[in-house]
Amino acid sequence: MTERDAVTPDPDLLARLAALAVRVGANLQPGQVLAVNGQVGGHEPLVRAIAAEAYRAGAKYVDVNWFDPLIKRARLELSAEDDLDFVPPWLGARVEALGAARAANISLVGQVRPGAYADIDPARIGRDQLPALRQTAEVINRRELNWTVVPAPNAGWAQHVRPGLDAGEALRLLEQDIRTVCRLDEDDPVEAWRARAVELQASAARLNAHGFDAIRLQGPGTDLTVGLLPSSRFIAAGMDTIGGIAHQANVPTEEVFTTPDPARVDGVVRATKPLTLGGTTVDGIEVEFAGGEVVRVDATTGADVLRGWIERDAGARRLGELALVDGDGRVGRTGTVFHETLLDENAASHLALGSAYLMCLADEADHERANRSAIHVDFMVGSPDVSAIGVAADGSETPVLVQGAWQG
């Protein structure tokens, strides 16, 4: 057993995270099945705490789906090239069955084996995109699941965030950050999230009142115009299932987001934070769009992995999400790069290549125009130096987010 394996998360923090995930994030209802997705080698303590909390809340059954990054490494090393993009149909069938059962779902993030694929051919990594599944986006867009994603503190992830520290010290600091960004340091975290939700929803309402035709991002290395569909609406801090169950899809969340027009994205955008994609760090990203499609991808590290992902299908080269994040969010204020999209995307405005969220479209007539893909890859493009400007149909411009502050 290594030192890292011997270091375990704080049980009190796990209990509070589990309660937040079950009661606020997924908002599990009595009699529902709860699906939990976690990684072996670090997520087990939180998965067990979530299962216990779910049964206290009246879960009918807790179904745990485990992913082992070291088994994936074996496949990447040894599998035949043509087998790497094989996705067993029963994996997608499970997701479809959970949607049909109107289940709840909690997914955990926080790499347990950072760098596990560091010496693997990037082209092979790009072909095996598991555990990501196309059916997940489809079930979410049909609003069949009340779902959430939460961070799972573990020593492997902690040492990736703070590589100069021993496992115990790194984990304690990561736990401190998670308490802060998840508002678990508040006497009443549920009420704290309700208050923040009101702020985020007010920001979304102000954006929607303008009825912008596009959003322009401008900053160092970035000048990108993202067109919006006629009924695109910004939403924040909460969704509802088709059955009316409210849930918070990300814990933490600090974003307001919408669905862009995948045919109207033009210009260049430079990422402001590294992206962890399938266990590989992609840093120094620069992407150029023309007519909505990616025409160039560069990066200082991991470029071939990102290029592999966007070759998945036609929609993978177009945008499915535009999200704006202000400077009042707790994630950005930590100053920590977490190397996990759940947290890093809530520190900075971001874009997502791939599948769009249909719940951001007020008119079903626009659903057919929204982007479709088997992937949804967020990358962070915001900073205090990057401004967001609303563009009206007549071309007039209105600043909406400048130096991290909402305008107007």
159 lies in the same domain as 195: no
- Quote the pLDDT of residue 201: 93
Given this model, what pLDDT does residue 408 score?
72
Last residue of a domain, one of 181, 208, 234: 181
Check: CB of residue 350 under 8 Å from CB of residue 335: no
C-alpha span between 206 and 198 (Å, rounded): 12
Helix or strand (DSSP H, E) at 155: helix 155-161
Sign for the CA dihedral angle at 11, 13, 17, 19 comes to positive
154 lies in the same domain as 289: no
pLDDT of residue 2: 60
Whether residues 106 and 148 share a domain: the answer is: yes
Q: Is residue 221 located within the same domain as residue 147?
A: no
169 and 201, same structural domain?
no
The C-alpha angle 72, 77, 80, rounded to 5 degrees, equals 100
Listed residues 181, 200, 231: the one ending a domain = 181
Q: Are residues 251 and 104 in the same domain?
A: no
Same domain, 161 and 201: no
Q: Which helix (DSSP H) or strand (DSSP E) does residue 137 occupy?
A: helix 134-141
Specify whether 176 is located in the same domain as 193: no
Task: Say which CATH number the domain at 46 has.
Answer: 3.40.1830.10
Q: Are residues 395 and 280 in the same domain?
A: yes
CA 65 from centroid of its chain's CA atoms: 19
Same domain, 340 and 263: yes
Q: Look up the domain containing 25 and give its range.
A: 3-181
Check residue 3 and give its pLDDT. 58
Q: Residue 1 has what pLDDT?
A: 47
Short-list 286, 232, 283, CA closest to 259: 232
Please give the Cα distance from 80 to 290 (Å, whole number): 35
List of residues 6+ apart from 202 with CB closer than 8 A: none
Q: How many domains in the chain?
A: 2
The pLDDT tens digits for 336-389 are 999 999 999 999 999 999 999 999 999 999 999 999 998 999 999 999 999 999
In this structure, are 97 and 196 located in the same domain? Answer: no
What stretches in the chain show pLDDT beneath 50?
1
Among 147, 181, 215, the domain boundary falls at 181
Give the whole-angstrom CA distance, residue 329 versus residue 150.
16
Is the separation of the CB atoms in 261 and 220 below 8 Å?
Answer: no
Site of tokens 């305008």: 407
Tell me the pLDDT tens digit for each residue of 224-252: 999 999 999 999 978 999 999 999 999 99
Statement to judge: residues 74 and 153 lie in one domain: yes
